[in-house]
Amino acid sequence: MGASLSNLTEGTNGAGHGPGLGDIPESCVACAFMYLTPPEICNLARLNRAFRGAASSDSVWESKLPPNYHDLLDLVPPQRYQNRSKKDVFAMLSRPVPFDDGNKVVWIDTVTGRVCMSVSAKGMVITGIEDRRYWNWVPTEESRFQVVAYLQQIWWFEVDGVVKFPFPAGIYTLSFRLHIGRFSKRLGRRVCNFEHTHGWDIKPVRFELSTSDGQQASYECCLDEIEHGDAYGNHKRGCWAEYKVGEFTVTDTDPVTEVKFSMKQIDCTHSKGGLCVDSVSIVPSDFKERKRRGVWK
C-alpha cells in the first residue's frame, strides 16, 4: 500500500511503474488549485515537487486574496510586503492588521479570503467613559485588544461608533461582543462577579446600524433575560455573547462604505451596571452561519 502510494505521487521519475501525480505539469496543478481553499492547497503541497511548486504560484495566491487587498496593504509598512510572494502576502494579511491607533483591526479569513474587521471599545464613543465612578478599563487576555470597558453603574447608557472602509462587495453582519458581569482569575480559575449587575432586565437595549447609502437595521433585547442560546447566538450571563445588530450590503467599493453603529438604553428611570463591552465585529454574513453549523473550525 505504501509503495503504491509512493509510485502514484512520484510518477515515471520514481519507481518507473507508469504515470503518476508527479507527471502532471505544474501549470495544470496550479489551475486545479484555483478551485481549492488555502488550507487544502497547503496540504496538497506535500505530495511532490510539482504540487509544491504550484502551491507557491503567485497566480494561485492572488486569486485567493480579496479584490481590495491593496487597501489592506496600505495599512502595513511597505518593507513588510515589498518583494514578497503573494503566498507571503496572504499569510501576512490573514493575521490581524491594526489601524486607527490600534483600535481597529482587519484581516482576511484563512479559508475564504474574505475581509473581516473588529473595532475595540477604545475605538468607540462611550458616554461617561472618562468618569471612573461609571466606567473602568479592564486589562484581559479574553479580548483581542487586551482591554475591555467595564460599566459599574450609569443611568444614560450609550455607545456609538463609526467605520469607513472599502469593504469588498458582499453581505456583512455587524455584532457587539458583550459580557454580563465582571470576570477575573482566582487561583488559576476563571470566576465571575455579578455584584454590579443590575437593570438589564427592566428595559431592552436598542442596537442600531446605518450606512452611508441609506441602509438601516436595529435589534432590541433585555441583556439579562437570556438564559439559553437564541437565534442571535446570545448566552446566559457569565459568558461572552455576540449580539447581532443586523446586516448591510456592499455593492461597490467606490464610494467607500461608512457604517455607523450604536447601543443604547437611555431610560433614566433606573440605573444599570455590571457589563463588559469588548468590541464590534463586521464579518461576511455566510461566515457566521458556517461557523455556527461547524463547517469551519
pLDDT in tens, 75-102: 999 988 888 999 999 999 999 999 999 9
pLDDT value of position 287: 76
- Give yes or no: residues 45 and 159 share one domain: no
What's the grid cell of residue 290?
A: 458556517
Q: In this model, does residue 158 exceed pLDDT 70?
A: yes
Element (H, E) at 27: helix 26-33
Q: Which domain holds residue 61?
A: 24-95
Express as a percent the part of the chain with pLDDT over 90: 69
Same domain? For 47 and 193 the reply is: no
What type of residue is 15? A
Question: 3-class DSSP state for residue 79?
Answer: helix
Q: What is the model's pTM?
A: 0.85
Under the banding of pLDDT at 50, 70 and 90, the label for residue 293 is low
Determine the distance from the C-alpha atom of residue 16 to the mean position of all C-alpha atoms in its chain, rounded to a whole number.
49
Q: Establish if 14 belongs to a structural domain.
A: no
Q: Are strands 189-193 and 182-186 parallel, antiparallel or unpaired?
A: antiparallel
Residue 15 in domain:
no
Domain end among 45, 72, 95: 95
Closest residue by Cα to residue 182 from 251, 136, 223: 136
Overall domain count for the chain: 2
Do 107 and 131 fall into the same domain?
Answer: yes
Q: DSSP code of 187?
A: T
